[in-house]
Amino acid sequence: MPKDFEPGVKPRPKRATRMSDTRRLFARLREALASGAASLPDIASLVAKELPADACAIYVTRAGEFLELAATYGYNISAVGRVKLRLGEGIIGAVAASGDALNLPDAQNHPRFAYRTEMGEERFAALLAMPVKRAGRILGVVAVQNEQPRMFSQMEVESVATVAMLLAEILSRAGATNLPEEGFSNSLPRRYAGHVLSAGIARGPILPYGAAGPIAQLLTDDPAGELKRLDRAVDMANATLDGLIAASLPGGNAPRDVLDAYRMVAQSAGWLGRVKEAINDGLTAETAVDKIARELRERMRRIADPYLRERLADIEDMIGRLMVALGGAKPKPERADGAILLVRRLGPADLLDWHSRGIAGVAIEEASPSGHAAILARALDLPALQVDRGAVEAGNEGDEALLDAEGATLILRPEPDVVQVYNRALEARSVRAAALQAYRDKPAITKDGFCLKLMLNVGLAMELDQLERTGADGIGLYRTEIAALASGGIPDVAGQAAEYGRVMDRAKGLPVQFRTLDLGADKLLPGESSQGEENPAMGWRSLRVGLDRPAILRRQLRALLLGAQGRPLSIMFPMVATVEEFRAARDLLEAEAARVRPAPSSLLAGTMIEVPSLLFQLPGLLAEADFVSVGTNDLMQFLFAADRGTPELANRYDTLSAPVLELMERLVVACEEAQVPLSVCGEAAGRPLDALAFAAVGVTTLSMSGNAILPVKALLAETDLSTFRPILRDLRRSGAAGGSIREPLTGWAREHNLPV
């Protein structure tokens, strides 16, 4: 055993940890592990001396959810095996319970400090406690202390984090008890709430994915060789991705904008550079990749911005491919037919890959509706749900799961009676889907002959096949910002023009209403920030950005005009609050139109009605706008001062209420008098009962997601509008206080056997 491992040797005087010290620490660890003689006390001694610190302790989880002191240097040796802490008890127990490190200048003054006389820790002040985690589970805690109060440096924190990673492999091989991040049993049924990313229902075996396998070799004495291995793995991962794209996206109708964005983020030199630095410190390639991945996860967990958090999924996608190429992760199964995939994060290329392997649905712990994975899931018509944290850890491979991406619920190991209920629902859904196909080529018309136009809301060219699948009358809302978000930036004029031209080509003469960039709030491009806005949804976003940065708006308007190539063009401006703003935007459009040839055969400029102030300027607005479209999502949150992203307010205010229907009816009358076309778009327009109510107050054009068109057509076809109108009028009067009338309306529809 090396002399420095001898117990009782006084540590060298404290000094700042330098990069050379980190490399020496890893080199000493490599020598000790290679000799096969390094025990946990040896490692504790080595870490304390090389960091340096006055003491080091290693705690290991044991059955019954407690931690036991397994090795020590600098504390009383007799405390080993005697000191036990419950999960959450003391600073060490708190670190194990939270999974977060604690760096304290004076531990004894911390409110969670739990004194143990047998430790002999009275003389120590500074404490750095790091969880030992593997595959998301806590295996123990490693802690270092100094006698003098101080904060451990960032380099020291990273060094101890790497030691914790190495200990995780050692402890897992030694059979340490896995302590889940939550105290649940993995044999009982579990329900997880969530948010719908892509609607649908699926049932199948659980397939948890993303947990790293054991790494055969943790440290290296040949960094140059490991760097070459990393370069080969990067080339292999890139080749795999190229093959996936070529195989999955035939005919040029692919979401290449999404995948290009993935490429840009996943192959960023920034995080790969940090991997190379870790290899130069003495880690093997797979250990270095795993180390940087852990650091990224810890940092991104603390970022509230959903768009920035989504970028981690893109990087993790590439990390997974690198680990497979390096032999440090289990390859995906060849087939996963009917499986419910459970993952913490998921990038777009990975989702495409899993879809090709046959998964029936996916539950993601960290995702957002505007993220790449959600965009692709909707385009692939794959049920997808963002679920509460803990689902991945609770899932046993092969157990049954129910993914309800309509009721926003994931059920693991459901009871038999629950399975029966969902089986009936799935059977009814299948029968219903087959029956709905009969409406594809029929017009949207009520039983008594009232005709409507049902349009699509889309954001990617790959979604345009829904025009044919649903028999939609055109595109009522083309969200131009989705492609910009997916590609990680706003393309140049030529790139935008090519995209808009492809959209019009695919529409084959059907009308298309392009909405200009609706960026800001929760839709931020890389490098942008909300600038600390307290209410970003009401802040600097959408047209406000375009008017303040007219060059961006003018380039997009020029691209739209060029993409039209002489065809009719309709452009819609979002987030308009005053007639003056609309006039300013239209002036920019007309200025660009005067420069572009060939000019569109017709040019229409309209606006979204999302901001309530515009409702008090209708005469002036309707005198200038060629058409208007009610954006129900934003209008509802502004009308009721209810953030649509706040779960506690999700069902508090309803479009099916007297105030909203009164507003819609007045808009219909005003637009009819001014002879300005009116449409309603948003989630509400795609709910059959809401669509019926809008039709009853006179709305003739609705724009919705593709999966809503046939159900809306079906309800309209079965309803006599002249009979429904007085029913709705009476319910509006009874609900004049502002409450929802959804329940009585649903009851009426079911009494008449209507498909709601």
Q: What is the pLDDT of residue 7?
A: 39
Structure tokens given for 355: 């879809």
Mean pLDDT value of segment 523-542: 58
Give the three-state DSSP class for 49. helix
Identify whether 550 is preceded by a cis peptide bond (ω within 30 of 0).
no
500's enclosing H/E stretch is: helix 493-507
Between 711 and 289, whose confidence is greater?
Answer: 711
Name the band, by pLDDT with cuts 50, 70 and 90, for residue 493. Answer: very high
Q: What is the pLDDT of residue 9?
A: 39
Model confidence at 409: pLDDT above 80: yes
User: Distance between CA 577 and CA 614 in Å, rounded?
Assistant: 6
Q: What is the pLDDT of residue 235?
A: 82
Mean pLDDT value of segment 739-746: 90
Between 626 and 188, whose confidence is greater?
Answer: 626
Model confidence at 120: pLDDT above 70: yes
Identify whether 52 is preceded by a cis peptide bond (ω within 30 of 0).
yes
Q: Which of 333-347, 553-567, 620-634 has the lowest mean pLDDT?
A: 333-347
Average model confidence (pLDDT) for the chain?
A: 81
User: Distance between CA 652 and CA 632 in Å, rounded?
Assistant: 15
Give the three-state DSSP class for 400. strand
What residue has token string 């709705």?
728
Name the band, by pLDDT with cuts 50, 70 and 90, for residue 181. Answer: very low
Model confidence at 599: pLDDT above 60: yes
Q: What is the pLDDT of residue 183?
A: 35
Tell me which DSSP letter residue 29 carries. H
Please state which CATH number belongs to domain 445-751: 3.20.20.60
Q: What is the pLDDT of residue 3?
A: 38
- 564 burial via Cβ count (<10 Å: 0-12, 13-18, 19+): buried
Model confidence at 582: pLDDT above 70: yes
DSSP line for 544-575: HHHHHSHHHHHHHHHHHHHHHTTS-EEEEE-S
Nearest C-alpha neighbor of 626 from the set 686, 569, 561: 569
Give the CA distances from residue 508 to residues 37, 457, 465, 503, 567, in Å, rounded to whole numbers and listed in that order: 74, 17, 11, 9, 11
pLDDT tens digit sequence for 222-272: 888 888 888 888 888 777 666 655 554 444 444 455 555 555 555 555 678
Residue 337: what residue type?
A: D
Mean pLDDT value of segment 366-387: 79
State the pTM of this model: 0.61
Q: What is the pLDDT of residue 8?
A: 39
Long-range contacts of 435-440 (CB under 8 A, 24+ apart): 435/714, 436/710, 436/711, 436/713, 436/714, 437/710, 439/471, 439/710, 439/713, 439/714, 439/717, 440/469, 440/470, 440/471, 440/710
| Backbone phi and psi for residue 620, each to the nearest 5 degrees, phi listed first | -65, -40
Architecture of domain 3-173: 2-Layer Sandwich (3.30)
Structure tokens given for 556: 């997009």
| Backbone phi and psi for residue 618, each to the nearest 5 degrees, phi listed first | -60, -45
Which CATH superfamily does the domain covering 190-430 fall into? Answer: Phosphohistidine domain (3.50.30.10)
Structure tokens given for 139: 């295996």
Model confidence at 442: pLDDT above 50: yes
The domain spans of the chain are 3-173, 190-430, 445-751
pLDDT tens digit sequence for 7-31: 333 344 444 444 456 677 777 777 7
Q: What is the pLDDT of residue 522?
A: 46
Mean pLDDT value of segment 539-552: 84
Give the CA distances from residue 357 to residues 222, 253, 360, 403, in Å, rounded to whole numbers and listed in that order: 38, 20, 10, 18
User: Distance between CA 750 and CA 756 in Å, rounded?
Assistant: 7
| Backbone phi and psi for residue 131, each to the nearest 5 degrees, phi listed first | -70, 145
292's enclosing H/E stretch is: helix 285-301
Q: Which of 317-331, 372-386, 402-416, 727-741 has the lowest mean pLDDT?
A: 317-331
User: Distance between CA 722 and CA 660 in Å, rounded?
Assistant: 21
CB of 408 closer than 8 Å to CB of 195: yes
What residue has token string 């030529």?
494
- Let me know how many helices (H) and strands (E) the chain has, helices first: 26, 22
Q: What is the pLDDT of residue 21?
A: 60
Mean pLDDT value of segment 608-622: 95
Q: What is the pLDDT of residue 359?
A: 94
Model confidence at 187: pLDDT above 70: no
User: Distance between CA 754 and CA 756 in Å, rounded?
Assistant: 6
